[in-house]
Chain A
């Protein structure tokens, strides 16, 4: 083994990075174009398509809706997913194996089928408001990620630590908050980010559940592209990218991102 990587390895790594980065460069370039149509390389430099996002009320509204749905859906999924993951790990021997698999089902079923089923059975069946249907749909599609990520975190947690705390006089529920939760904090944050981003990006399920007056950002982007071919879509994408980077930067500063790679 030599200290310097093989030149071939450097070339391959470079190509992979290029492959990953190029679409982003093109989107950013297209977003900055002064033209009224999507083009790359950009012709002229302008931020007017970024202003345009906020001038179109549908974008303003759907950004807010998307953020609300993503945040609320993720929080509900955490409220259900943390206790579920805890129980699945704590009582791994006592509980039947299929119970854990149950929580993965929503991502095993094709999302488009899942969305359609939810529309037929819930929205049409009960006449529930659109926002509520969207919220429930998103909660269900992010729940598997939450349970999985937090389970991974709990798998390396030694439950005798919990028993030690209980034996020292700490009541079980209190022990969960003072001992278990602080030790799976990284997993909870990772689950939050993953769920939030998954919800924010979802198209298939939202496609069925959005309705008159209420839509999510990805659906609005689709609708916009169907009618217009201006760079607004590119600038919305850039905005989303920067939002994601900002979230990651905050997490990196406060916690470090290494836990995501675990």
Chain B
């Protein structure tokens, strides 16, 4: 390797127009995914504001009851299929090729097609607000028989559009998963064996394997649901010999692992960021990597815990209660590894680190309520109450979304080439952390008291906690303002980012900020050590000092 040709020069074309077309560069697609996801995040968030606005008083006085049903259904669907999955695929697109030293994804065109399906099914889903009868109203899990009702008799109806959109989302995600798995398996830098791979790539591999195994089952189940709704079959209709519980099996066989698809990459983000901001190697690297795949294996056999009250056999309840509790073990391994990493480290409380710490705190809380919910008697007691809503919002907003914000602040300088503002970032963190806890903590006492989910009016005895939750939700709504302000203003006129502003170790930090289109091109450095060698002074790749000198010189001359 000659360091004269390395590092590659920064990209020349930075025109805005490439973000609006069919582009096959993973870094462009990554940003397309993330920006699109946040567009839908605002829509889903607006719906959440309407929900909490309705629930601030016991009476159903803000929106009509049927409209309310459509709103919570669309809130859940948009947040999962149009926000969380696309935003994570965006991070995968940005991080996987640069972290493993690949020039692009294995199938760049397939990658672009997978992205462009997102706005298409997004438009279908949002469009369902404008069809006669309004959007789907059967909740984000769309159980039959509610989801197979078509009272107005239109062939194009909200529920039909919902199923089509979810099936298209599945196609898009399978295309993405195929691409990510092939890229990680076949395009790693020389010297990067599996046990030299960053944990984010391990967790991405684990999560995307789950997509490949789980999604086809949901797609199959959704096809059958659509046929019941629109073509008169009776797969899920007891009067035709069908079984509504069969749909629940299909749905949760995917949608429980979907939680791990969401949280595993966030575990990856925690594992990347805690070492950087604690200046210590990741504690128990090998165990953290392996725990991801134990979570995958166990995550595939826990789905019936969503169906304890659905009339499943007692042996199933026992088995799935046990397997669900077992999953706390590999998850606990990870939590202890992060604590071991932070322990006596030189902590730097930057915005990404604050989001990680907050996310970890919320995750542990969600884990505790998760174990409670795994217990059959507790689950049956709080089934369909706000306890469940509180639990999964702690997981998804409290842990996953906060981890995603951490990742955005951490890797923003790398892929945009400018530094985000710390002050605005910390305000964003404070509002998010306080808002999330104020919003979702009161849901637990509400659930234990017996307040059912998916209702727009409730008994006045629930009013106190609901007012608190609504105030928290409005704070969360406000919290997005400093974030958007930060992103837009730092993208436009933030200070230029050096190649490694956080003193982090990893292949992506040996590239200019932003990296050129083909990343390292032909000059991929040879990896000679495990990641996270903080405080050890060991280089990660051959000729590391030369590469870094070159990058610094390049920045000085720019």
Tell me if chain B binds chain A: no
Chain B residues near A (Cβ < 8 Å): none
A residues in contact (CB < 8 Å) with B: none
